[in-house]
Structure 1
Amino acid sequence: MAADLPRRIDAPWLKEPARARVFAALAEAGFAARAVGGAVRNGILGLDVEDVDIATPATPQQVIAAAQAAGLKALPTGIAHGTITIVVDGIATEVTTLRHDVETHGRHATVAFTDDWAQDASRRDFTMNALYCDADGTLHDPLGGYADVVARRVRFIGDAVTRIREDYLRILRFFRFNARYGEGEPDADGMRACVEARAGLARLSAERVHQELRRLLLAPRAGAMCASLYDHGLLSLVLGRAPRVGRLERLIAIEAMLGAEPEFVLRLAALAVAVPEDALHLQQRLRLSNAEAQRLLHIASTPRWPEPPDDMSAKQAIYRQGATGYRDRLLLSWACRTDAADDARWRTAAALPADWTVPRFPLSGADAKAAGIAPGPAMGEALARIEQAWVESGFSLTPEALRTRLSSGS
């Protein structure tokens, strides 16, 4: 145990009544219960906590009985692997029996239950995920994870190659955790193990790779860790395409200049999309949603601006492509510039969707009908032609002028 380990943490989630009732239910039934993993790690770092997982020597059946005795709802969501979900006031907490791996084969190992906390800790991936705390925040650190959390050091538990062979997704998790929680260069032993085991990436399902890549691309050090993946020959194995890490790094720098929130699809496009075929490839490779794939395809099919668009060109693009399509085009055009510095012209163009109200085309089918055009394809074509003239005029043609053009067929 690290010498400087504090006695306890003071995390906000420890004070949540719903969590306290789960701890109390297990305690009243005579079982120890400790929060484990991300909630403890993030509590030490002062980061937000989304989910709280609890470990206990109680068997799944004993957990269910304890919850029911306390009047709580218990769901056997992963009972084969020892996990019961207890729901209190709409808040779900996963409670998992202490376990050790009997056989590993990817995402879910064959496990046996145990009452040995150290054995449970040793089966986890990184030392920073093998920290436990009691309901009062008292810390338990069987593997020295606290020192690694404080040092922002992502380190595999035990032999790194062994941990990775248990689940090859841990290669991507190593880089994602470094992007989210790490500082400086990744652990050398972990890096060597990832490179040694890289062939195992081909065994992973598209859905699991997608989920991990999404988290990586949205992490604070996404650019640096994608560059590291690339430098070690791993990123092309993940994407099945030659990555463009420099473009991603420039996009991230631009987002920081603008104070913009990162978006998975836009960052993925910067990293791996140049032509429509790339978008179609990634749709299959990562099992993207239809909306994500369509957005990638639109990005790939839209020409880049070599220079910042002038005011009217930008407004016409917003009108035709919508604010999201315009923003995608603009930021990627900017990121394609190898000199993507803080340029006032690009900044002005980026601010336009928030500063400009998109006008509404003033004519409708009723105007076309009044001009003697029968409903059908001809009416649609006529209105589209007049709308294009209106857009090209800088939205300045009046309704009267547009109706005159419609009537004259010009």
Structure 2
Amino acid sequence: MNPLLEGRPGLARVLAALDGAGEEARIVGGAVRDWLIGRGLRSDIDIATTATPDEVTRRAHAAGLKPVPTGIEHGTVTVIAQGEPYEVTTLREDAETDGRRARVVFGRSWRHDAERRDFTMNALYLTREGELVDLVGGVADARAGRVRFIGDPDVRIAEDYLRILRLFRFHAAFGRGPLDEAALAAAIRNRAGLDRLSRERVRAELLKLIVAPRAPETLATMDAAGLLAPVLGGAGDVPTFARLAGIEAGLGMAPDPVRRLGALAVRGEADALALRERLRLSNSEAARLAALAGPAPTPGMCEKGQKAFLYRMGRETFQDRALIAFARSGAALDEEGWRALASIAADWPLPEFPLKAADFLARGLTPGPALGAALKRAEEAWIEAGFPMGEAALEGIIEGAAR
């Protein structure tokens, strides 16, 4: 019995349609690896098949499934079953490559298909009946936490230079012990190839790397090997990054990729702008990094001042600045003042300014610049007073701001 079919009737239908009558289909890659090492069952499952894309499409239609030609040029058809998508890719062999993309031809050899993949732990197959097929030594490597290129590391990297970053990302996610020496040496030899990659691909890989469980020590290895600066466009602050990761863990927070990127590479607004271009960050990601510039709240501020800071700045920016300042402070991870600041950032309910234009129109003000200025004065007075909600306090604020 295939363990990945439990609770997945759609997957069972896809495999039943593609496996048999002269063709074979197997689950491949991350889903098999994660199941093997006890990481649980992934929601995304990839399937490899001897059938051509045309045959996959024909069989899917015949089985009442929905095929979508999401990557025909690479041999990939997404088959929708029971509302779930499954990427089905025909066995391939690289015909030629320029280090960014490969031209492939379809094949029928499972060994050739395995040997063109990146790491041994990613080239594992699981048949419809549940047989684990390992053609490159991936089972031993996955269980040992060893991220190892298939065959010659230089050849694998030359096929796609993004594999340099994938090496570190997979080591941060699945590795145990030091990085594979042959893989690291090949990454260093081929680092010039990083400049040939699209910025979007580098961004996607980097943001996955920095939230992986062993990201701090992996980034330290990258930095020592001279591979971090070419990715970031400048020196990375790995010690601050490592402390932030420890703070997030100590506070029970999920790792945040944008905040971690800020800790690693942003000291001022110019850094944020440079990263936006270098990594093709989204507008929201770039704006969040730019917001890191400026003063940060500290435990030395009174609670009233901290809350005023939080109200003016917004929760996300306040939390980002506070946690990164905590990381840069060198304070112990259990230092009470910083932890209290983090608690305010996470838990204090932001109040809503209770006064409206109508409150001032009732005092005789007329619409226009003077009304806007009075509202602004009133909000500042309300913040300074500690966000009162009582009627008497609000009347006093209106009275003072309306003058």
Q: TM-score range by the shorter chain?
A: over 0.9
**From 331, 340, 362, the counterpart of 1:370:** 362
- 1:334–1:340 contact (8 Å) kept in structure 2: no
- 2:28–2:126 contact (8 Å) kept in structure 1: yes
Counterpart-to-counterpart distance in 2, 1:55 and 1:92? 14
Is 1:325 matched up with 2:320? no
1:305/1:322 CA distance change after superposition, 3 Å: closer
Counterpart-to-counterpart distance in 1, 2:347 and 2:87? 46
Is 1:168 matched up with 2:143? no
SS for the counterpart of 1:361 is coil
Aligned to 2:380: 388
**From 85, 92, 97, the counterpart of 2:90:** 97
Q: Which moved more, 1:226-235 or 1:28-37?
A: 28-37
Q: Which moved more, 1:152-161 or 1:65-74?
A: 65-74
- 1:203 is aligned with what amino acid? R
Aligned to 1:379: 371
Deviation at 1:305?
3.9
Counterpart-to-counterpart distance in 1, 2:191 and 2:156? 13
TM-score by length of 1: 0.93
**From 312, 335, 338, the counterpart of 1:343:** 335
- 2:290 is aligned with what amino acid? L
- 1:148–1:154 contact (8 Å) kept in structure 2: yes
- 1:111 is aligned with what amino acid? V
**From 206, 213, 221, the counterpart of 1:213:** 206
Is 1:403 matched up with 2:398? yes
Q: Which moved more, 1:21-30 or 1:129-138?
A: 21-30
SS for the counterpart of 1:398 is helix
In the TM superposition, 1:220-369 aligns within 5 A as 220-300=213-293, 302-305=294-297, 307-369=299-361
Q: Which residues of structure 1 form unaligned runs of 5+?
A: 1-7
Aligned to 2:69: 76
Deviation at 1:360?
2.7
Deviation at 1:353?
4.2
- 1:361 is aligned with what amino acid? F
Aligned to 1:181: 174
Counterpart-to-counterpart distance in 1, 2:139 and 2:90? 23
SS for the counterpart of 2:3 is coil
Deviation at 1:247?
0.6
Deviation at 1:28?
4.6
- 1:371–1:406 contact (8 Å) kept in structure 2: no
Is 1:133 matched up with 2:129? no
The superposition leaves residues 115-155 of structure 1 with CA deviations (integer Å, 9 ceiling, x where unpaired) of 11101100000000111010122100001100000001000
TM-score by length of 2: 0.95
1:316/1:257 CA distance change after superposition, 3 Å: same
- 2:298–2:338 contact (8 Å) kept in structure 1: no
- 1:14–1:135 contact (8 Å) kept in structure 2: no
Q: Identical aligned pairs, as a percentage?
A: 50
Counterpart-to-counterpart distance in 2, 1:124 and 1:56? 15
Counterpart-to-counterpart distance in 2, 1:324 and 1:308? 20
Counterpart-to-counterpart distance in 1, 2:174 and 2:76? 26
Counterpart-to-counterpart distance in 2, 1:366 and 1:109? 65
SS for the counterpart of 2:212 is coil
- 1:100 is aligned with what amino acid? E
Counterpart-to-counterpart distance in 2, 1:223 and 1:320? 32
- 2:265 is aligned with what amino acid? A
SS for the counterpart of 2:366 is coil
**From 9, 13, 23, the counterpart of 2:15:** 23
Q: Which moved more, 1:306-315 or 1:22-31?
A: 306-315
Deviation at 1:395?
2.2
